[in-house]
Structures are given as C-alpha cells and as structure tokens.
Amino acid sequence: MLAEAVYPAMGLTLSGMGVTESDCADLLGPATVEEHGDLALPCHSLAAVLRRSPMDIAEEVSLTLAPALAGIAKVSAVSGFVNLSAEPEWLAVRLSELLADDRLGIAEEEARVAAVDYSAPNVAKEMHVGHLRSTVIGDAIVRMLTYKGHTVYRENHVGDWGTPFGMLIEHLLDLGEANAAEELSVGDLDGFYKQARAKFESDDDFVERSRRRVVLLQGGDEETLRLWSVLVEESMRYFNEVYQMLGVLLTRDDIMGESSYHHLLPVVVQRLDESGLLEESEGARVVYPGGWVNREGEPMPVIISKADGGYNYATTDLACIIDRVERLGCDDLLYVVGTPQSQHFDMVFEVAQQAGFMGVSHNAVHVKFGSVLDSDGKILKSREGEVIKLVDLLRESINRAEQAVAERNPELKGAQRQEVARAIGIGAVKYADLSTERTKDYVFDWDRMLSFEGNTSPYLQYAHARICSIFRRSGAERSSLRVADISLDRSEEQLLARRLANFAAVTDDTLATYSPHRLCTYLHSVASAFATFYESCPVLPCRGRSDDDQQAGPVRFDSQDNLDGTRPVRH
C-alpha cells in the first residue's frame, strides 16, 4: 500500500524537522478528496509543536520529501496539507504484484475466534425485512472475517422457545397435525400465528389449555416436545428456502435456537448469585447493572427470572455468552440485530462483564442496523398493513428483473433469461441493503435498486458482464494475464489502477467498522472507473471502435458470466 511505501521517508523528514513520533502518529490518512491525491498529511496539529504556520510546515515537508519519494509518489503542499499521489510507475508495479497474488493483496490476520449471531427469525412467525437485513449484513461480515483467516461460527439464534409455544402447539392440535404442517410448509407462518393469537384472546378454554401446555413443554413432556419440534421443523424448512434463494451461507447446522441454551439458564442464575449480583424484586430475580434508569428515573434491572419462574430473553443471551466464550472459545461476539434492541444488548453485555462471563479481552459488539421504510417513511408493510413476506419480496424482485432483462436483451430466452433475472433480482435486494450505511434507515425503492445506473447491483453486474464479454470475444485465458506488463499511460488507466490498488485497505476498513457499505461504495467506484477506462482506452486489438458492437460485440448478460458470484472469477 502507498502508506507503507511512504512511511520511512516521511518519518525521516518529520523527525529532521523536530517532530516526535507521538506528535505525528496517525496523521497520515486517505485524502478526503480523491483529486487531491491518495494520501494526505494535515499539518495543522504540528503548528503548535513547531510554532510555525501549517502552510509553512507543509511546504517544507513537501520540499524535503519530494526527492525521497521520486518514482513512488508526487508530493504537493496545499493549504496546510501535504498531498501524496501515487506515481503511475509505482502503481504499475503494485498492480503486477496484485495480479499475481491469489488474495489480491488481502493479508491474513492473526486468527481470532468469532461468533456472528445473525438472521435469527422466530419459529412460526414470518421472516420480515429486518431479518433480511440481519441475514445479508451478517453473511457479508462472516465471509470477510473468514477470508481474513479468522475462525467464524455462524450462530442462528432462532426464537424457538417461550410462552407463545403453549398456544401454538394447542392450535396445531386443533388444526390437526397434517393440516398444520401443510399450512406452515406453504409459508403461511403469520396466518398460523394470528389464528392462534385470536383464539388466545377470545377463548378462555384455549387460554387454559395453552397454559398447561407451556408447563408440559418446560417440564420436558415427550409428546409436547414432539409437537414443538413439528413447529420448529416446518418453520426451518421455510427459512432454509429463503436462505437458499438469498444464496447465504446459513444452513441447518448453524441453528442454535434459544432452546439450545435451556440447560444453561439455571447456571446463569447460580453464577449471578455467587457473584453477588442477583437481587430479589417482587418475587422476580433481577440484576441492576447501574447506569440505566426508566422514565420515572428509577434504576432499571435486567430481569433474570420472573415471579412464575420463567426465564427472559436476556437470560438466554447471558447463557449464550457463557456458551460462546467457554465452549466455543470466542474472542469476538458479534450480534447483527436491529437498533431497537440496543438497550437489551448494552445491558446484557454489562451484566456479563460484571459477572465475569467475559473479560476485557472479549469484544462483544451489537452490529446494529436501521429499519427498511416505504416511500412515506413508514416501516415497510404490505398494502393490507401486514408484514411483507420475504419470499414474496424476492419473487417480485426476480419478476421485475426479468422484465428489465427482456427489454435489454430480448435475445435471451427461457431458462437462461430466468437465471440472469434471478441473479439480478436477488442481487438488487441484497445490494440495496448492503450498500446503505448499516445504522441508517433506508427506503425500499424498486426502481432505484434495479436501476442499471448508480451504486446498484445491476450496475456492478453489468460491469462484470462487460469484462467477461471482453474475455469471451478475445479468446484470451484469464490465467494468461497473471504475468503481464502493465503500463499506465492514460489518466483513465491511472484512475482505475489507483482504485484497484486500494482494495485491501478498503476491505480492512470495512471489517474494522463492520460496515459492508464501505466495500460497496468502493466497488462502485472501481466499476465506474472501469466504465470510463473502457470508453476511452481500446482493450482488444482494434478493428476501430466507437461502441461495444465494434470492440467486443454487444454486452450481453450471459449465465456463464458468474453473475451471482457463486463460481470464482479468477481461473
């Protein structure tokens, strides 16, 4: 990376001027405006140390540094900043190195063990767009961590336990097992849940049966557990269908539902008690972590067990921390869950620290995300005000993509068209989610996410298809280009090269903040630099060209183009 190449000379220059290492630590960073260069050293904080104006300091640094960096970077001083721009010769060498490197410059890190808690839908309830966000963002983080060499546990903390299961099991019995399974398997989870809820609200006998059923379930009654597992199984079948459609890594093996921590709940109570944190409050057992107050200004507890002996969501999450730290040996515990659960996680992490379930070396992070909104700025719902079913959303995206493909590439038909439509449709939904800053809300907008212009998945897929098309037409094997002479004469080539050379740094930055949108912004900048380059620099031995038809034939989406990235691009 350019920073590493300039550090030694820069260090010498600054120390020669009387700046200590601590005065200039971390000053050098990416230039905020790309036109100014790749890196910038702001000299404003040095002004006080050296008792000179920032302009003056920048001038001197730049004069001394320039000869030392000849062939590496151009150095200039602009209003108190020293700007550094990689020289084309240096970039060309860097690109040749990247071309020969299977990892594209991404270094493996000292391995840590991470649990990524993501997706986590609830049994017998519809997956909604919130679960989509968690699934897509979580999966991106898992892939990046794995690539950096860490051991990653995918943990799908499915909601599969608790009092509603009494009512759900009774409803299952009322419908008859076969009918209920049928209803659940067609994915009408919400319908099932609502019917149960409606009976629970109007039928005293049903309420009583449900109560008894919860007791049986918690007591481990065999038949009740079997009925419970029917509900779990049918829901999982449906969730897995969604995972397959989305092309995420989650499988059945990653399911660690709330019920998996059952055996640890008494352990949580016992250990909190031993550490002196547990208090009694109106029959319930609670912990006051301190620092949280309710609207009346009273201290807020984390409820560990209720007066009736039942455990809480927070208790399960405490058990979960014990399991991840002690059984899996995790250093990092990441929770990809919506922002509304912030307080829950803050309090749970605090209690876990105080009780010694995790220590200072453990890094527990709530990787929170904002909501998906409709065009009126409200939480996205169907016209009937119901939760939108994720599968319906994905199917609609595929349909819309198919229309777009039919217009753009009428020659593409049948199964091929469907395959391309699937890649574009699913890609659009996933990318719209990944490319917006995680903590922000975003508006779900079909036209924008399926547009072939802008920071969208179709735009990137199109750039990729275009590159594949060059290879197809040229007959050149990708592997034959692994050792190539690179020269960067034109500004369009240099821009593309500068952006490509940043890949590893952007990836690290993306992971450091668990912010996939940074990688997306970068990818879009690479694709658009490629488009500019392609417009003006001939790639194939030329038959004279002004558009795609002359150079490489029309750019077509082709199923061989690996649109969904399932096959490795490099051969």
Residue with tokens 């006998």: 205
Strands 302-305 and 332-335: what pairing? unpaired
Single residue of 180, 337, 347, 394 touching ligand ARG by CB under 6 A: 337
How far apart CA 143 and CA 149 sit, in angstroms, is 10
Residue 120 binding ligand ARG, by CB under 6 A = yes
C-beta of 335 vs 534, nearer to ligand ARG:
335
- How many residues of this chain bind ligand ARG (CB under 6 A)? 9
The phi, psi pair for 366, rounded to 5°, reads -85, 105
Residue 261 binding ligand ARG, by CB under 6 A = no
DSSP H helical ranges for 219-341: 222-246, 265-274, 313-322
Residue in 407, 508, 509, 479 with CA at minimum distance from that of residue 450: 407
Residue 38 binding ligand ARG, by CB under 6 A = no
How far apart CA 367 and CA 338 sit, in angstroms, is 8
Neighbours of 159 (CB within 10 A): 19
Question: By CB under 6 A, which span of 73-81, 86-94, 115-123, 265-273 interacts with ligand ARG?
Answer: 115-123
Q: Shortest gap between Cβ of 263 and ligand ARG (angstroms)?
A: 17
Chain-centroid distance, C-alpha 69: 38
Residue 389 binding ligand ARG, by CB under 6 A = no
Single residue of 122, 210, 218, 260 touching ligand ARG by CB under 6 A: 122
Single residue of 117, 160, 254, 493 touching ligand ARG by CB under 6 A: 117
C-beta of 235 vs 456, nearer to ligand ARG:
235
Cα distances (Å, whole numbers) of residue 397 to 379, 404, 428, 517? 19, 11, 8, 21
Question: By CB under 6 A, which span of 116-124, 410-418, 456-464, 511-519 interacts with ligand ARG?
Answer: 116-124
Residue in 196, 192, 178, 200 with CA at minimum distance from that of residue 126: 192
C-beta of 122 vs 218, nearer to ligand ARG:
122
Question: By CB under 6 A, which span of 47-55, 114-122, 357-365, 548-556 interacts with ligand ARG?
Answer: 114-122
C-beta of 336 vs 497, nearer to ligand ARG:
336
Residue in 370, 358, 369, 356 with CA at minimum distance from that of residue 333: 358
C-beta of 72 vs 246, nearer to ligand ARG:
246
Residue 317 binding ligand ARG, by CB under 6 A = yes
DSSP H helical ranges for 341-445: 342-354, 390-408, 414-435
C-beta of 157 vs 430, nearer to ligand ARG:
157
Single-letter amino acid, residue 40 = A
Residue 171 binding ligand ARG, by CB under 6 A = no
Residue 157 binding ligand ARG, by CB under 6 A = yes
Residue in 356, 16, 400, 335 with CA at minimum distance from that of residue 156: 335
Residue 159 binding ligand ARG, by CB under 6 A = yes
* Binding positions for ligand ARG, rule: CB under 6 A: 117, 120, 122, 157, 159, 317, 320, 335, 337
